[in-house]
Amino acid sequence: MDFRPGSSLGTFLGVGGLVFGLGFVVAGPPSFADVPDAGGLEPLYAAAAEDVEVETLSRGQTLGQLLSRAEIPHSDQQNLLLAFQEHASPQRIRIGTEVTLRWRRGDGWLRGVDVAVNPDEVVRIERHELGWNSSLIETPVWTDTVYVAGEIERDLWSAVVLNPDLSELPRGDRAQLIDLMDRIFQWQVDFSRQIRRGDHYRLAFERKVRPDGSMRESRVLAAELVNQNQPFHAIWFDMEGEGEGGYYDLDGDSVRRAFLTKPLEYRRISSGFNPNRFHPVLQERRPHIGVDYAAATGTPVMATGDGVITVRGRQGGYGNLVEIRHANGFMTRYAHLNGFASGQRSGQRVSQGQVIGYVGMTGMATGPHLHYEMHRDGRPMDPLSVEIPAGEPIPPEDRQRWREARDVHFAMLETLPGAPGVRIATRDDAEEEHAGGSEDE
């Protein structure tokens, strides 16, 4: 948490809101004039000669009861609810739902009702000559870019969640940023074990913001983590220009590896890879050729790498099993599942991080856990110590485009205070120094 009071960064990340605009910074409050994708909540009538009342649905209250305050005839109210029902069920509105009543000014004639059925959708009911019309409106969002930096005093969670510069972000969104960073840097740094006091992070992320200030979507554009004085970078680059990019370090090498470091969020490793294990159920010496991750029943299990599902079904002691074939002779297995992800079948292609099933204890298992195996060329390997192949680097024909994108995204980070005394260099810098070196010598 490293904003010196009075610095320009402190100002634009402080009360005045976050930094808006992509790339180069336009400070100031959000202006709907330059909002790219705000779907419109048009005023009901050109002249806004209306009074608006916002009600919140309380426990046990129905939409009908709330509407009865509008003093419209019972049949009229029934028709309004029918119109609402075209888009959402009146019985399934949550407590706390905002209902906006729009009255004609003067005589209190009800013109329309807006019901915010979820954070992204509003059912708008409008009066017309014969009754009521309803429509579903997507809540407008705006896009902005947020810059934040901090020093880790205790752990990454408190460094990000308690960062005062992010105080405008709902707590859940701040926690989501940590999850994004964990996913991006999982191959470089084990966040639960390797983070140290004095580590430093810088982050630029783009988000789509709802009117209530929460994020609909976010994407980290550039991230830096200095862990025990070693800097790690991840820069977003969309090679195909189709929104399916990835993260690369400053040299253009992929940050991602061919396999995730773990297939799930687990509590602990209950049994490691051990070719000489004494089996607790069989009471005999039996090799354990996988890793057991203890986790609650129902915890989502992800494919650790891109591949094709080759087995998806019940198989003896494995219980419910998914087996995936990957490139370069790799195969992974996920056993004892409680259930499979819906809509998938054997022969289907899955991508890294895609949910394929849920933790359970089917087959030979003494408690809920995931049994995970990794094989290469038919031989079982210890997933925790196997050398995982690197992702593809930026190919030569895309390098110029990559350098330009990298420089813009890295400049975003450089507007923030960095970790003191850490020198950041790229192979390009080394080449340039080498090329210009003769002048210095």
**Identity of the residue, 290 or 307, whose beta carbon is nearer to Zn ion in the bound complex:** 290
Distance between CA atoms of 234 and 254, rounded to whole angstroms?
Answer: 9
Tell the smallest beta-carbon distance from residue 371 to Zn ion (Å).
3
**Identity of the residue, 363 or 418, whose beta carbon is nearer to Zn ion in the bound complex:** 363
For the chain, how many helices (H) and strands (E)? Answer: 7, 23
Tell the smallest beta-carbon distance from residue 234 to Zn ion (Å).
33
- Which one-letter DSSP state was computed for residue 140? P
Tell the smallest beta-carbon distance from residue 373 to Zn ion (Å).
8
Q: Which residue is nearest to Zn ion (CB)?
A: 371
Residue with tokens 């960073």: 181
Tell the smallest beta-carbon distance from residue 284 to Zn ion (Å).
15
**Identity of the residue, 270 or 348, whose beta carbon is nearer to Zn ion in the bound complex:** 270
Per 3-state DSSP, the chain is made up of helix, strand and coil in percentages (nearest 5) of 20, 35, 45
Q: Which residues bind Zn ion (CB under 5 A)?
A: 290, 292, 371
**Identity of the residue, 49 or 282, whose beta carbon is nearer to Zn ion in the bound complex:** 282
**Identity of the residue, 333 or 406, whose beta carbon is nearer to Zn ion in the bound complex:** 333
Tell the smallest beta-carbon distance from residue 360 to Zn ion (Å).
13
Distance between CA atoms of 437 and 134, rounded to whole angstroms?
Answer: 71
Cα separation values, 292 from 29, 263, 349, Å: 50, 11, 25
**Identity of the residue, 124 or 371, whose beta carbon is nearer to Zn ion in the bound complex:** 371
Distance between CA atoms of 251 and 331, rounded to whole angstroms?
Answer: 30
Paired with 355 in beta bridges are: 302
**Identity of the residue, 79 or 315, whose beta carbon is nearer to Zn ion in the bound complex:** 315
Tell the smallest beta-carbon distance from residue 346 to Zn ion (Å).
22
Distance between CA atoms of 182 and 185, rounded to whole angstroms?
Answer: 5
Q: Can you read off the two tokens belonging to residue 29?
A: 């409050």
CB atoms within 10 A of CB 16: 11
Distance between CA atoms of 14 and 17, rounded to whole angstroms?
Answer: 6
Tell the smallest beta-carbon distance from residue 289 to Zn ion (Å).
8
